[in-house]
Amino acid sequence: MRLSTRNQLTGTITEVTLGSVMATVKVRLDGGEQIVTASITKEAVEELGLQAGVAATVLVKSTEVMLGVE
């Protein structure tokens, strides 16, 4: 599959937490300890067969990027 999304980060799913409608999926990025958390539908998790240990690609498409410091 070819995509126009330029921000593609590969990693491995470390955790899937299912709610009644939505789910959170944590992906540890390759080459480090960084974790990206995605909120997606429970139906998408089930259709894609997402579970801990599965390789995944995180696609990021955003019009804004925000930073915060204390």
Listed by start position, the domains of the chain span 7-60
CATH no. for 7-60: 2.40.50.100
Give pLDDT, residue 8.
92
* pLDDT value at 66 more than 90: no
Q: What is the mean pLDDT of residues 1-14?
A: 90
- Name residues whose C-beta falls within 8 Å of residue 42's C-beta, 6 or more positions apart in sequence: 18, 19, 20, 21, 22, 23
Give pLDDT, residue 1.
78
Q: What is the mean pLDDT of residues 3-29?
A: 95
Q: What is the Cβ-side half-sphere exposure of residue 37, based on CA atoms within 13 angstroms?
A: 7
* pLDDT value at 40 more than 90: yes
**Identity of the amino acid at 68:** G
